[in-house]
Amino acid sequence: GENVEQHPSTLSVQEGDSAVIKCTYSDSASNYFPWYKQELGKRPQLIIDIRSNVGEKKDKRIAVTLNKTAKHFSLHITETQPEDSAVYFCASTDSWGKLQFGAGTQVVVTP
């Protein structure tokens, strides 16, 4: 089955700097890679996603890249702000559409 690994587990950045989170997956049939943000005590919410026919996608300060050959994908947050502090989860779906999550990255943006 699919296995998603996520690094780092914690990330502390100065406000205005960039944050990068990396994930790897094992199932070569995986075709959908969403990223979720979870604030304390709240439900996970989608912030950006990418499908296997695309190598990069950007939405304002957030971008995701996908390398299908290497089976890894990354989340990039530029010009970080205090409200970016949260736990971020990567995920991937296998050929059956089963959604599996990474262990999460705690991002702390310090003023």
Applying CB under 8 A, the residues found at the interface with another protein are: 6, 31-32, 34, 42-46, 49, 51, 89, 93, 96-104, 106
* Residue 106 beta carbon to another protein: minimum distance, rounded to whole angstroms: 8
Instruction: Identify which of residues 78 and 106 has a Cβ nearer to another protein in the complex.
Output: 106
Distance separating alpha carbons of residues 75 and 25, to the nearest angstrom: 14
Nearer to another protein, 28 or 81 (CB): 28
Measured from the CB atom, is 99 or 110 closer to another protein? 99
Please check whether residue 38 is in contact with residue 44, taking contact to mean a CB–CB distance below 8 angstroms.
yes
Rg over alpha carbons for the chain, rounded to the nearest Å, is 13
Six token digits for residue 42: 């709240």
CB of 81 to another protein, least distance (A): 24
CA distance 34 to 3: 15
